[in-house]
Amino acid sequence: MLSLYSSETIPRGSSHIRIYESYINDTFYVQVAASQIITMDTKQDEIEKLRVQFGMLTKEVSSCKHLIEDLLKEQTVVPIQLHFNKILVKSNGRLIVVHSNDIDWIEACGDYVRLHCIGKSYIVHQKIGDIQTKLNPQRYPRINRSAIINIDRIKEMEPMNHGDYLITLQDKTSLNLSRNYRNYLSAMFNHHL
């Protein structure tokens, strides 16, 4: 019997050669077909694996999307507030620029406020709540319904009855810290009030 890789020579014209050639051709086509089937099976397996991976990735993306949506729903939007360093004041027909660093304290007078600045005072036609929103609350806390102070000007704080404090400024002005506004100032001093 001749093997596929035999080095024996077969005489030409022999019927064995035709059978052998037929066998080789048939074997070749069977091998090609088998390799194509194997390749197709392999590709089908790979396609199925890719489908499974795609399904898993789709589920992961969907769950991440839901997590992000939930986080965005929970997140509160904090508006950006601009704090002014200067306030424009009318005085004797002139406009004067008052730097916020120069303000010792602010006093409410109805629809007006009085800015007490280093040795001077100015009246501005604004409500105390409007002025309060323009100034940095960390530096200018409200201490009662009618006063805002510059925290850098505080000299001392003396406890009074019912949770109130008497605040003395560097210019010896005494102001009442109401217990209703004490928490704002207490947070600035690490809750020591």
Q: Which fold has domain 86-188?
A: OB fold (Dihydrolipoamide Acetyltransferase, E2P) (2.40.50)
Condensed to tens digits (0 to 9), the pLDDT of residues 54-94 reads: 888 888 888 888 888 887 777 766 666 677 888 888 888 89
Confidence of residue 155 (pLDDT cuts 50, 70, 90): very high
| Residue 39: half-sphere exposure toward Cβ, Cα within 13 Å | 6
Q: What is the pLDDT of residue 34?
A: 64
Does this model's pTM top 0.75? My answer is: no
Domains of the chain by residue range? 13-77, 86-188
Alpha-carbon distance of 168 to 176, in angstroms, equals: 9
Alpha-carbon distance of 186 to 193, in angstroms, equals: 5
Cα 27 from chain centre: 68
DSSP structural state of residue 118: T
Query: 154: closest CA among 135, 138, 167, 140?
Result: 167
The answer on pLDDT for 31 being more than 80 is: no
The answer on pLDDT for 23 being more than 50 is: yes
